[in-house]
Structure 1
Amino acid sequence: MEVTACTTTMVKPVYTTPHPLAGEKVPLTVFDRAAFNILVPIVLVYPAPAPPSNRALKEGLLRAVAAHPHLAGRLAVDDQGRPFLHLNNEGVLVMEATMLSGDDMEAVLLAGGVVANDHFSELYPPAPKEKIGAPVLHVKFNRYKCGGLIIGMICHHRVADGHAFSTFLAKWATLVRAGHNDDDGDFIAPPPFLDRAATAVPRSPPAPVFDHRAVEFNAGDGHGSRSYAVVPADKVKNLTVTFTAEFVAELKLKARGDGGGGAVRCSTFQCLLAHVWKKVTAARGLSPEEFTQVKVAVNCRGRADPPLPADLFGNMVLWAFPRLEVGELLRSSYGRVVAAIRDTVARVDAEYIQSFVDFGAAADASGEDLAAAAAAAATAAGTVLSPDLEVDSWLGFEFDRADFGTGPPRALLAPDIPVDGLMVFVPSGAARGGVDLFIGLVEGHVEEFRKICYSMD
């Protein structure tokens, strides 16, 4: 991608009245500590006519960040080695690039259904090598000669999960559309829910009943983590597969019809996950006696007791692990596989969430140094998760509300995926009402998967 100009600046909100949390040193919750210790990229594509000027976008960004002070802060470590978020208003890093032509943008828009563009990573800012003390939010505006705009961002996962970040984007877009009103103060109304401590209130005394050390955390020495092979990163290929709305509807009918319970609701995510789990497993040519599992991210806001507000800005995700024997998975009906996914996810309930919170409190009280399982080998480029998979669904996020004045993004792109078996479902940019799958697969399984990915046999 040819760039004619690129500038980098650090921007920060200017308050007439300091935010109530200004200067706070906010401890990471147990949910924050269990999250990936990475900056997660996301790319939004807006064809011509593009949203307003970069100046207008930055003004709206600063007003949105003013109400989400964690995004202008920095990760830090206290004198006991414990990480926290310092809400010091050090600012957001903003890059502004002018692209030579619109050809690259058209290539991005046409990427659905083909091997993902090798240069997607150039659309968002590079992640800093050292995360402590670095900006937690980086934004890049890529302006094209054709009049289009691509906004690439990276945000540290321990500051916000995907749901929270999507609500932030929606509020940023709302502020840009509304313009600045000098009489409405520094902070948007209604404000987001920022009491992160409310996500992790333990019982007295803490009483964990599940073995979280073998699931969400390792015991410092790697206890409980699964071991996976690693290949050269260039052996893992990125694919984008588009499932049309018609395909999804047919898949739902099939899952309901052959599941022995036609009245049972079957979500788009559950049906597509069952389908892709089957097809990737078949493409891998695994032994029928081997077991395969899928790591599924679960939003716990509405599952806790009491439930937390949907606009909680922070992390509140745990994981479910549907697991089947390969032979059983491939023989089973779609309805049976959907049921296995649904039943396993349902076990991440209020009791499990409270147990997880209590586990974190008990570990803190004993001084135990917990290492997040999410920070294990699965984050390393070239990791081969086979026989397993890991999935994130962005289907329920609020990216469709990221309308800066000329409509929602035409396409939503996940980051480059250097891990075999890691996948993300997003609303399709190529097929209205459909779903795009971004997935990493080792090169030896790519062609077979592409041959069978639309078959429901």
Structure 2
Amino acid sequence: MKFVVKNSCLVQPAEATWNGVMALTEFDQIGAITHPPTLYFYRPSETWLAQEEIMFTTLRDSLSRILVHFYPLAGRLRWLDGGRLELECNGEGVALIQVESDATLDDLGDLSLSPHFHHLSPKINYKAPIEEIPLLFVQLTKFKCGGIALSHALSHAVVDGQSAFHFASEWARLARGESLGKAPFLDRKLLRAGDPPSAQPCFDNEWNEPPVLITQPGSENDEIRNKGNAVAMLKLTKKQVEMLKNEANRTKSSYIDDGDHRMFSRYESVTAHIWRCACKARGHVYEQPTGVGISVDIRKRVEPPLPQTYFGNATTSVIATDCAGDVVTKPSGYAASRIRQAINKVSSAYVHSTLDNLKNLKDFTGLQDIHAMELEASERMFVGNPNLWVSSWTTLALNGLDFGWGNEMYMSPGPHDGDGESLTLPGQDGDGSMVVALHLQAAHIEDFKKFFYQTI
């Protein structure tokens, strides 16, 4: 099947916007500067075959108008000393690409596992100077059957998931002819380190040195890193989700005894199940250290709370750790309790201590591979086997993205390739079901699927 670029342009704000340098927070600094893509598929329509240019024009014009409100996305990043970044709000614009394919949507096969996703997501040249790379790429792909795929990819150095989907939702509103719903809160001064920052942070950043395999010590081990990965999209019915919650909560009191009377959430219960199945599938020995990385939204955890429409990176990461033997042999409530304990660390004091700790660092390139997209796999920070990273998209406004031609038939995260990276997503029908998007080394993926369903 062929995919041909028919049109591409830079879209600038429809009106003059504020120009100047916007300082980024410490949480913006530690995010990768890649552009995680999200894909939306829309059903075939004979009408669209005759309205292709109208669709492209609708996206272009509404994108221009929404950038007036979300103007930082029209700017460019630039490097500062020590591997830090700042955002120059200059209105240079975002990239919009129009692609045609001789394939049909049916030719893609199972949309949840299609190997052709990389054709549907914008191709970004990370070898270009960072000052030349737009912060937002949008690709509209039209299939010969009349179906379309829409992909948007925003720089993670500028926004987190909640901000990205807030933008997409408001953009769709304008495309439908409606007025702006919720304006973004653009002032990042609310999430700054102390001035001066505290010299004695009260926490340790555990994820700087993730656990490594006992049998293959050293996180630089090329053999471990270069094993091929596979992807699985694993569906959980509402009943299965409730069964996992009930099982985790059945033994909660045995492991949570600090007055925390809240039941384990869907995220905690499902993530505990993923962790246990991964340890089994990977065949870990009992004493193998293992960790689960967790991104925690801090908008409601800091004092005073951030506006829910805060536009930027408002998450911090924690890691739940234990030995694989205890994770596997003890009831699922144990693994869920380790996850709960890690999340509970994220208080307002913890957040501000994290900010101060990051502000004190002289060289951010030593904290995380900001240039990771330019590195070979063997050079990147490796957080795969024996570890996982489980992000939750279940609370984000993912579905129902209507630009005037109806809601999508299917939504999916774009292609990722990191061992251990996983997402929990809401079911497409909004019925309480969930989907786990998992990347694991290919040698372990079939065993994982077996344990995932057989042990519910």
Aligned counterpart, 1:96: 98
Classify 1:82/1:325 alpha carbon distance in 2 versus 1 (closer, same or farther; 3 Å).
closer
Residue 361 of structure 1 and its aligned partner are, at CA, apart by 3.5
Kindly provide the CA deviation profile for residues 128-160 of structure 1, in whole angstroms up to 9, marking residues without a partner as x.
223511111110001223332211122110111
- Whether the 8 Å CA contact 1:238–1:416 is kept in 2: the answer is no
Q: Does residue 191 in structure 1 map to residue 194 in structure 2? A: no
- Partner AA of 1:13 in structure 2: P
Report if aligned partners of 1:378, 1:419 keep a CA contact under 8 Å in 2.
no
Aligned to 1:222: none
Preserved CA contact (<8 Å) 1:102 1:144: yes
Pairwise CA distance, 1:234: 6.8
What is residue 364 of structure 2 aligned with on the other side? 370
Match of 1:242 in 2: 235
Contact 1:127–1:154 under 8 Å retained in 2: no
Tell me the distance in 1 between the aligned counterparts of 2:314 and 2:35.
17
Deviation at 1:174, TM superposition (A): 1.1
Which residue is 2:194 aligned to?
Answer: 202
Gaps of 5+ in 2: 211-217
Secondary structure in structure 2 of the residue aligned to 1:67: coil
1:329 alignment partner in structure 2 = 327
CA distance in 2, matches of 1:205, 1:4: 51
**Structure 2 CA distance for partners of 1:377 and 1:370, relative to 1, 3 Å:** closer
Alignment correspondent of 2:87: 85
Partner of 1:39: 35
Distance 1:79 1:332 in 2: 48
Output the amino acid matched with 2:92. Answer: E
- Aligned residues: CA RMSD: 2.9
For 1:131-280, list aligned pairs within 5 A.
132-133=130-131, 134-178=133-177, 188=180, 190-202=182-194, 206-211=198-203, 215=207, 227=219, 229-231=221-223, 235-260=228-253, 264-280=262-278
Give the 3 Å change call, closer, same or farther, for CA 228–162 of structure 1 in structure 2: farther
Match of 2:455 in 1: 456
- The whole-number CA distance in structure 2 between the counterparts of 1:86 and 1:150 is 31
Matched, 1:319 2:317: yes
The one-letter amino acid of 1:56's match is: T
1:66 counterpart SS class: coil
1:8 aligns with: 8
Summarize the Cα distance change of 1:206–1:260 in structure 2 as closer, same or farther, 3 Å threshold: closer
Tell whether the 8 Å contact from 2:30 to 2:370 is kept in structure 1 after alignment: no
1:278-427 to 2 correspondence within 5 Å?
A: 278-363=276-361, 368-371=362-365, 373-375=367-369, 381=377, 385-427=384-426
Contact 2:165/2:397, CA 8 A, preserved across alignment: yes
Query: Post-superposition shift, 1:264?
Result: 3.5
- 1:410 CA displacement: 2.9
The count of corresponding residues between Structure 1 and Structure 2 is 430
> How far is the alpha carbon of 1:286 from its aligned partner?
0.5
The DSSP-based 3-state class of the residue aligned with 2:311 is coil
State the distance in 1 between where 2:372 and 2:286 align.
24
Instruction: Mark the CA change 1:81 to 1:162 in structure 2 (over 3 Å): closer, same or farther.
Output: closer
Judge conservation of contact 2:292–2:319 (CA < 8 Å) in 1. yes
Moved more, 251-260 or 83-92: 251-260
CA–CA distance in structure 2, aligned partners of residues 217 and 76 of structure 1: 28
User: Aligned letter for 1:198?
Assistant: L
Q: Distance in 2 between matches of 1:358 and 1:455?
A: 45
The two structures have a TM-score, normalised by structure 2, of 0.86
The residue identity in structure 1 corresponding to 2:73 is L
Shift of 1:283: 0.3
The structure 1 residue matched to 2:56, chosen from 54, 57, 63, is 54
2:209 and 2:32 map into 1 onto residues whose CA distance is 11
- CA distance in 2 between counterparts of 1:161 and 1:216 reads 20
Given that residues 203 and 350 in structure 2 are in contact (C-alpha distance below 8 angstroms), is that contact kept between their aligned partners in structure 1? no
Check the 8 A contact 1:100/1:145 in 2, yes or no.
yes
Deviation per residue, 1:18-69 (Å, 9 max, x gap): 32xx221112210111111322121122224579722112222221122111
Corresponding residue SS for 2:130 = coil
Q: What SS does the corresponding residue of 2:454 show, helix, strand or coil?
A: coil
SS at match of 1:97: strand
| Superposed CA offset, 1:212-263 (max 9, x none) | 5664699xxxxxxx82544575711122212222211221122222323897
